[in-house]
Chain A
Amino acid sequence: MKKTSEKVINKIKKDDIKPKPFWYFIAFKLLLYIISIIAILLGGLALSLVSYLLINQDWSFASPNIFYLIPYAWLLILIIIYFLAYFNFKKFPRTYKFTKTQLLTFIIFASILIAMFLNSANLPEKLHGSFCQKSRAYQQIFDSQTRPWHRPGEGFISGEIIAIYDDKLLLRDLNRNNWEIIVKKPYFYEIGSSWRFIGEKISDNQFEAQQSRPWLRQKRR
């Protein structure tokens, strides 16, 4: 009976089997490096946005439900990026020598450094502002700063003041719905300014305000 080695060498010769070319493996490694760099950069960007949204959240005058204040959409994206980066790093030829904890620590540490750099350049604020202006869907999902204030049924509403009457204001909310806000001193407000109100919804387009606070930053539309 022929030995396996002889059968294999005959098959290699007969079928003219050749080693995969050198460039194939170089290209694969290059791809791994590119994906890793992109994943780390995206991780840094997501982390910078999460930290920006958390740091600039108005924790003092907020919702009773902390869930609304957490930028969970960006947090979820950040976790997904970390896992993708981790599984990509695992494909490197020598990374099996490191434990999961060591690899994840490296990825998280690298993304923290990038996030710090992006924060110092004020990029998260600019990006978040730009995304919010361009996409209402983005604002509804990702903007944890304004989202808690779009729950009129629970007593929270915010938006831009578009008209002022003797005993009330006309407010345009995030969803572009107009609301009549009953306030004690309408003359106190300015058209075009953005405000948050706590109070009670009294009909489908009427809200009685008990407390109000301006947006510290420019309200996004």
Chain B
Amino acid sequence: MEQKSDKDLVKLSLSDKEAFLPLMRRYEERLFRYILRISSFSQEEAEDTLQEVFIAIYRNLYNFDERLSFSSWAYRIAHNKTISRYRFKKARPQTVNIENTDVNKLISHINLEEEVNNKILSKKVLSILNHLKTSHKEIIVLKYLEEKSYQEISDILKKPIGSVATNLKKAKESFKSNWLKNN
């Protein structure tokens, strides 16, 4: 079962519930981290959201478009569920949950030419990220922390590739200008 591709597991899950377990295991950590990164949820809230995501994926298995990668489809559902959950709570995400290693990754991608190896600098990065527009924050998380390609981001956010590139450029510029203002 572990050797099978995502698409094969999707097909198997339609007739055998057990086949859905290895599929979930493959994405459990990634989606949990992604939910935390784009929301202000506590660990418990993120876990509840992840459960909702998996149930939604399972309920909509027949709607999976094989032209998409399963990963993009799962991220899209996670993205939508996270957004609708915080809209339901009427609270927009205030803080981003990312680790110091993520901050280093982000800084190197945005070409800020800074050595980020201490907590103070990491806090600055997080503070800037938290003050970005939600759309900018989402795209930065997907590109630099989740390391998704433009095509995958396009499939997850349901936006044309051109718009993804433009939004990412704007998000980077916004991040840079906030960075320069704060340094």
Contacts and interface: CB of A to CB of B under 8 A. Distances in A.
Contact of B51 (A7, A18, A93): A7
Contact of B54 (A5, A18, A24): A5
Nearest to B31: A4
Nearest to B22: A5
A12 B17 contact: yes
A185 interface: no
Contacts of B160: 96-99
B45 interface: no
Interface in B29-67: 32, 47, 50-51, 54-55, 58-63, 65, 67
Contacts of A97: 154, 160-161
Interface SS of chain B: helix, strand, loop or mixed? helix
A11 B67 CA distance: 29
Contact of B25 (A5, A12, A21, A24): A5
B28 A96 contact: no
For A7, A8, A13, the residue with the greatest tally of chain B CB atoms inside 10 Å of its CB is: A8
A25 interface: yes
A19 B28 contact: no
A17 B61 CA distance: 12
A179 to B, nearest CB: 59
A34 interface: no
Interface size class of A (residues with CB under 8 A): 20 to 34
A5 B21 contact: yes
A8 B51 contact: yes
Nearest to A103: B160
A11 B55 contact: yes
B24 A4 contact: yes
A96 B55 contact: no
A24 B24 contact: no
Interface string A12-32: 110001111110110000000
Contact of A93 (B32, B65, B161, B163): B65
B55 A4 contact: no
A29 to B, nearest CB: 9
Given A12-B20, A13-B17, A19 B47 contact: no
Given A11-B55, A19-B13, A96-B154, 9 more contacts: A4-B24, A4-B32, A8-B51, A8-B54, A9-B18, A17-B58, A19-B61, A20-B60, A97-B160
Interface of B: 13-14, 17-18, 20-21, 24-25, 28, 32, 47, 50-51, 54-55, 58-63, 65, 67, 154, 158-163
Interface of A: 3-9, 11-13, 17-22, 24-25, 93-94, 96-99
